[in-house]
Structure 1
């Protein structure tokens, strides 16, 4: 099916990789070809709202810098990967898997099924290593963390998500082969393979941003990370319990839960916001994570731009208080995040499900620029060296997809 998708200039494949991540409706979805679309590099969300109204399906993305419209005065830096601030398309063809059954929505579903089955599979080849460089040296990264901790001690903020980039110029990769390797190395409940012309996102995200189902709005931020020891079940279980009991990691998680409760309270009915799960322990191939669930009930006439204005960019990728940490992120990172720490997902008959774009490869085929970013939540209690190691741990899936490690 994915090799069949090569004929489309635009498609979005969303895959749960078999994880039970409630609330979940589909096992996977593919929207292929754009019948109509809405995209923007400016700041008008009303166009998107009008586009989404009444459509059965829409797939697409939100870039991190779209959130700057809600915080006037923040600079807009160019994105070298060239993703627009948002883009959503109404697909010509939708394939949906649910409980082992496949549905094809297309003018001629039988022709689509026949074309998929007639698609030849490429011969498997080993990945050609891509020389990838760190934007920051270890020493520069440690200095940035110490500087951010000085901001925290001054009272500017109490938690901030700081990210660093690994990149390659003149990179030549096969996105389909790289996606296969990434999904094998890091299967995740909110994975995605997204093509927008010459731009590609290969996403192995374990995190949901927001899901709307009827009038129920659900957020599931991640804060709290520990490494895995898959060859040592006893040691692996001990690391999981150490994470669950860590006062530092629990404090980071509850800070973001409080931020998301506040965000949802801005748009949900009074008294409806609650936390049905706090410090949920979930395990993925490279890491254990703490995930909490916050939900609230929306008034029936709430629009998608209103939801975004209250919640975007998501608290797990920013920190608190949000405006001040956005300013500090721009100052210390010094570049656009683009689609990273934004979101991809789908709309279906008024409902939507959107992920957080992390653990992802971004690739611009036209400019041959390849990038991935990793980060962590910084508090006054953070150990800068441990945060550096956490970033390298989170990068392992992308390194395996590229067939190489990171160069200094």
Structure 2
């Protein structure tokens, strides 16, 4: 039986482990100045408390549409920006939805922000390496239980309760040794638009997420929902492009994201810039769309988070009804997965959806995977798709 483990000192970052979404030119120059933590059950509105903390530290969160006017060279000792993390549960709280089962990593806050300053050169300290060893994976449900959850969603769709629900499973494995190299392998997976590592007191999160939850840059807000998966072969590409089921599921989520942005005070007309474009992530084809709107009025961070969290591609439609189904179906909480994780700087906000994401808590490593369920979903195919999404993460963790 494996036991024990270590995690990073959060005051410094090891080389090549910049926070998710942080500018590349700031790599290895981050130094923690202060941090904000909010756990489910804590008092106050997490969106407002987070925005207040960041504003107090000089970051432009009260009017995000003006972030593009604040581009400047950041000198040593100045505030560089902040890493932001919002859990799926915190997103549900912000949206007024049903909160799911307890997180399997309760030591990780539901909202976490770290304000970083620049240092003249890297002060990253890599702890003395102990051999990394990973034990067997323990799944939160069996294949049969996962398939039954898919059938239950199909029944709910048949009753008219929902149109689509994203179903997610959890797995964990005990480990010994230093997790840093394994987490950096996760962050370095091909197609990881938000590849990076975020650390805290006794825990760390690594993501290989390819999906944009929300980006604000140059006065425009953008989301890039991903829905639809096939093996990254020529046949897989043809199947994805030809699948009426995948396209219908994808368009449903695009419509949900359009509605999310349209409800945002201060946003102008919403448009779909790109629909059902096929991209590759770690041996898988995935369909992505781009939805955007200009920020014509004042838009604050708190309002933005309440509009887009939790992400529609990992909840379903209608969003609040889907959250209620998820809470009833999933036996283990989503923890760090299916939330938002990224960066806020003087010039932009860029949060990825925390899919393809793992967490370590000093003793176990945790991972999640799932997919969207529609009336036409095949339960076994959905179980296999979740396994295909988890496979690159498990391989990266075990390598070396």
Asked if Structure 1 and Structure 2 have the same fold, meaning a TM-score greater than 0.5 normalized by the shorter chain, the answer is: yes
Answer whether contact 2:187 2:197 (CA < 8 A) is retained: no
How big is the shift at 1:241?
2.3
Aligned partners of 1:386, 1:27: CA distance in 2, in Å? 42
Q: Secondary structure at the match of 2:35?
A: strand
2:281 maps to 284
Separation in 2 of the partners of 1:30 and 1:301? 34
Residue 74 (str. 1) matches residue 71 (str. 2): no
Between the aligned partners of 2:296 and 2:207, the Cα distance in structure 1 is: 32
Q: Does 1:63 align with 2:67?
A: no
Flag as ranges the 4+ runs of structure 1 deviating above 6 A. 119-125
**1:160-213 CA distances to partner (integer Å, 9 max, x unpaired)?**
100001113x43252212124334554511212111121111111111110001
CA distance change for structure 1 residues 85 and 239 in 2, over 3 Å: closer, same or farther? same
Mark the CA change 1:90 to 1:250 in structure 2 (over 3 Å): closer, same or farther: same
Aligned to 1:83: 108
| Residue aligning to 1:326 | 323
Deviations 1:269-322 (A, max 9, x none): 575200010001101222110000000112442111101111110101100001
CA distance in structure 2 between the aligned counterparts of 1:341 and 1:159, rounded to whole angstroms:
16
TM-score (norm 2): 0.83
For structure 1, the residue ranges without an aligned partner over 5 or more in a row are 17-23, 93-104, 229-235
Counterpart in 2 of 1:205? 209
Aligned CA distance change for structure 1 residues 362 and 7 (closer, same or farther; 3 Å): closer
Q: SS at the partner of 2:175?
A: coil
Q: Distance between the aligned counterparts of 1:121 and 1:50, measured in 2?
A: 34
| Compared CA separation, residues 121 and 7, structure 1 to 2 (3 A) | closer
- Name the stretch that deviates more: 28-37 or 243-252: 28-37
SS of the counterpart of 1:349? coil
The answer on 1:376 being equivalent to 2:371 is yes
Aligned to 1:157: 162
Count matched residues.
363
- Unaligned 5+ segments in structure 2 are 1-6, 60-78
Q: Map 1:288-299; keep pairs closer than 5 Å.
A: 288-299=285-296
In structure 2, what is the Cα distance between the partners aligned to 1:375 and 1:278? 22
User: Which structure dedicates a bigger proportion of its chain to strand?
Assistant: 1
Separation (CA, whole Å) in 1 of partners of 2:35 and 2:313: 29
Decide whether the 8 Å contact of 1:161 with 1:375 is kept in 2.
yes
- For the residue of structure 2 that corresponds to 1:394, the secondary structure is helix
How far apart are 1:343 and its partner, in Å?
A: 1.5
CA contact (8 A) 2:95 2:310 kept: no
Q: CA deviation at 1:374?
A: 0.2
TM-score normalised to structure 1 length:
0.82
Aligned to 1:13, the other structure's residue is in SS state coil
> Are 1:10 and 1:195, in contact at CA under 8 Å, matched by a contact in 2?
no
- Cα 1:327/1:278, change in 2 over 3 Å: same
Equivalences for residues 2-401 of structure 1 within 5 A: 8-9=10-11, 13-14=18-19, 26=24, 29=27, 32-41=30-39, 42=42, 43-44=44-45, 45-53=47-55, 54-55=58-59, 56=79, 57-72=81-96, 74-75=98-99, 77-81=101-105, 82-92=107-117, 105-106=118-119, 109=120, 112-113=121-122, 115=123, 128-168=133-173, 170-183=174-187, 185-228=189-232, 236-267=233-264, 272-349=269-346, 351-365=348-362, 368-401=363-396
Whether the aligned pair in 2 keeps the contact of 1:286 and 1:394 (CA below 8 Å) is: no
